[in-house]
Amino acid sequence: MNRIRVFLVDDTAAVRHILTQILEEDPDIVVVGTASDGQQGLERLSRVEADLLILDVEMPGMGGLDMLKALKARQSTLPVLVFSSITERGAMVTIEALSLGASDYVPKPAMVGTAAEARDYIRNSLLSKIKSLFKLEPIAPTKLSTPTITPGHGYRRIPSRVDLVVIGSSMGGPKALGEIMSALPDDFPVPILIVQHMPAVFTKALAARLNQNSKLSISECDQTTVIGPGQVLLAAGDYHMTVSRKANQISAAPLRSEPVNFCRPAVDILFNSAAEYFGANTLAVVLTGMGQDGLDGCRALADVGAQILVQDRASSAVWGMPGAVSRAGLATAEYPLMKMADEITRKVNRGRPVFRTRLERQDGKRNHEVPG
């Protein structure tokens, strides 16, 4: 395999020096250039061949967001990892960068102890994400109009009325969630619970960003909350999220217990509680992400007859989480991201004749238009 060519943009010389040292300790990676701000980065990047951009988003002069926008204006497909501070401002800017198309982010170390511990943190978190982005098998083009149906290994797949939607995501998730949440109708008839792998400050910023661009009410689950139709809760960073039902009252709650799959929040915790309280009336969705968090929860959901959708490989930033569910034969179907919102809406619509999907609304509007 050819070495991964990395370009670094950060306004601090010491950070550029440390990142270069850490990255080039790995024989699969070479740093082909650095820059101290976005403008210098654009100029120097045009003169080298790079496979990946590692970008600080908070810089004097041209910052990371403006550089990203300039790259997108050039129709660049260069993958971008954001290297950002764990502050409220840093989190908000990072979420904005992810919505602009950055592949993922790595928080800068804060209060991690010694310099050696900080280097270890950067090495472990950064290298794992780089390897996940570049050690994937080639993806053959697929027809987006044709979903892959995977009936599973003997699991009951008789569709039941959906009373709850649960979603799990990781790397590439913020952008995928943004596309789905912005496309769901304002009269969505059931609650939605989301686990996205992120630290605490970042989940708060992500919830605010999603809420800003959605017709639904989206907030962070920082306390036990009774939820109703059209309400969306995002698990708070460093807390799991569980769901329960008593009579007709649905509640979601944060849970401070040990990490699962090295994650807190973990998708498995949410999915397992959904299987316990909602059974076949659950619709689970597994989006892009590293690892296999959500696999055990999907086994529990499949055992009780729940429907499980996974994002297809071609539209995933990393096909780890959805791929694990697909390979285990647990998925009801695989869909490209651009079709996922409508498929969620369609499945929730089943048994609710008054409720219509976004496409049906558009078709109805066109059918009632008067020519001329």
Catalytic residue numbers read 170, 197, 293
Instruction: Name the nearest CA neighbour of 86 among 60, 109, 56, 105.
Output: 109
Nearest to 342 by CA among 143, 207, 145: 145
Residue type at 115 in one-letter notation: A
Token pair of 18 as six digits: 């440390």
In sequence order, which residues have a C-beta less than 8 Å from that of residue 136 and are 6 or more positions away? Answer: 318, 319
> What pairs with residue 52 in β-bridges?
6
CA 179-216-218 angle, 5° bins: 85
The whole-angstrom separation of Cα 199 and Cα 180 is 22
Do residues 255 and 239 make contact, with C-beta atoms less than 8 angstroms apart? yes
User: How distant, in Å, are the alpha carbons of 5, 34, 369 from that of 127?
Assistant: 13, 18, 55
What distance in Å separates the CA atoms of residue 227 and residue 249, rounded to the nearest whole number? Answer: 8
- Count of C-beta atoms within a 10 Å radius of residue 237: 21
CA 43 vs. chain centroid, Å, equals 31
68: helix, coil or strand?
Answer: helix
DSSP letter at 216 equals: S
Antiparallel, parallel or unpaired: β 249-255 and 240-246: antiparallel
